[in-house]
Amino acid sequence: MIDNNCRKQILDLIAREVVPAVGCTEPMAVALCVARATEMLGKRPEKITVMLSANILKNAMGVGIPGTGMIGLPIAIALGALIGKSEYQLEVLKDLTPETLEQGKKYMEEGHIDIQLKQGHCDKLYIEAICGALGDQATAIIATGHTHFVYEERNGQVNFDRRGGTAEEGETESVALNMKLVHEFATTAPIDEIRFILKTKEYNLRAAEESIKGNYGHCLGKTMDRPLSHGIFGNTMFSHIISKTASACDARMGGAMIPVMSNSGSGNQGICATNPVAVFAQENENTEEELIRALTLSHLTAIYIKQSLGKLSALCGCVVASIGSSCGITYLMGGQYVDICHAVKNMIANLTGMICDGAKPSCSLKICSGVSTALLSALLAREGKHVTEAEGIIDLDVDRSIHNLTSIGKEAMCATDDMVLNIMTHKKTD
């Protein structure tokens, strides 16, 4: 039985990690940092220097900025300075209008912005914004979390300096999760305490519906709904799950001004942990309580894995979120803890090694791969089939299997991360 203190810590953890975001979280975090530095400066910056970790730079280069029809960091930085409000957190640009967009484009073209790769050792999630005007200068730094300010200074006067720490502002000590605890919490917590998780369904399925009204990204979700696709995949639960998940990703990566519920700092992870579970529950006619518990299981599993993997890594986040959704779907199929562990092992045996080459419209393709595998892994688990410890990186213990996955993503794939960034910054785009 989980004691009250432990349960409260888990609830606080979910509340911190499952939050609304408009647009890709990396450029939004950069805009947030610039907005805060501008607020401290107290005037419109004449010069903005932004220094970023390689992973932030990689994830922000090719993604659409909501409401702008534009791609990349310069417009996000310009708008962060002109209209951004730090109190909005990852919805920092939600006050955007056509008029302020034109102002942002002009500001960007006037050469006020300098974007650099942060030299030397820094956290994989690191953003430093330096804004100057009329002899004044203000600096804000975000690190370890997309909204976690660790340093603020104006004209040499330091407001605070939390560099070197790991806990986010206002954060209480997090409980050490394991798969057994994740499952027990999701299946036994008082239902009214976790009912808030239904917000993820509300936000992320709405994003899928809004996506259909436009042509965002590669239109993968809309393509899955067309007659040719139905002839190949059928007009089935499988095609509906893929379509609703891909559509929300299409909109988010394509720059739609649509909020989604993120997970562990990623909107795509939030979508991937939510929509497959929500659509399956709807078409399988599960009860609301079963849906709430399945969504909680999915999101908390993703949070657990990201605790050891890190917010940003060389491993695609859809791998992690798809493991969560596979657990949620297995539960909705009537699976017990042992089945859920088998689903996790099946997922790790298949998707480990999928690289993250930045946030971009084609993320929807990777999400489809993850969700397809999530469904297959859940089905196999319910049939009593699973990848065993005699195969590859799978261990007898499910938590050690997860650790094997995160060790590869966090440690062994560092050289992969460097190579990916090198390719992305040196390729021809004409």
- The mean pLDDT of 113-137, rounded to a whole number, is 94
What pTM does this model have? 0.89
Confidence grade of residue 151 (pLDDT, cut at 50, 70, 90)? very high
- Is the model more confident about 265 or about 325? 325
- The mean pLDDT of 166-184, rounded to a whole number, is 74
- Is the model more confident about 23 or about 400? 400
- For residue 174, what pLDDT is reported? 67
Confidence grade of residue 173 (pLDDT, cut at 50, 70, 90)? low
> Which range (57-71, 73-87, 287-301) has the least confidence?
57-71
Q: Is the pLDDT of residue 430 over 80?
A: no
Across all residues in the chain, what is the average pLDDT?
Answer: 92
- For residue 171, what pLDDT is reported? 47
Secondary structure of the chain as H, E, C letters: CCCHHHHHHHHHHHHHHCCEEECCHHHHHHHHHHHHHHHHHCCCCCEEEEEECHHHHHHHCCCEECCCCEECHHHHHHHHHHCCCHHHHHHCCCCCCHHHHHHHHHHHHCCCEEEEECCCCCCCCEEEEEEEECCEEEEEEEECCCCCEEEEEECCEEEEECCCCCCCCCCCCCCCCCHHHHHHHHHHCCHHHHHHHHHHHHHHHHHHHHHCCCCCCCCHHHHHCCHHHHHHHCCCHHHHHHHHHHHHHHHHHCCCCCEEECECCEHHHHHHHHHHHHHHHHHHCCCHHHHHHHHHHHHHHHHHHHHHHCCCCCECHHHHHHHHHHHHHHHHCCCCHHHHHHHHHHHHHHHCCCECCCCCCCHHHHHHHHHHHHHHHHHHHHCCCCCCCCCCCCCCCHHHHHHHHHHHHHHHCHHHHHHHHHHHHHCCCC
- For residue 170, what pLDDT is reported? 43
Q: Is the pLDDT of residue 169 over 50?
A: no
- For residue 417, what pLDDT is reported? 85
- For residue 253, what pLDDT is reported? 85
Q: Which tens digit of pLDDT belongs to each residue from 296-314?
A: 999 999 999 999 998 888 8
Q: Which tens digit of pLDDT belongs to each residue from 346-402?
A: 999 999 989 988 888 899 999 999 999 999 999 999 999 999 999 999 999 999 999
Q: Which tens digit of pLDDT belongs to each residue from 24-43?
A: 889 999 999 999 999 999 99
Q: Is the pLDDT of residue 344 over 80?
A: yes
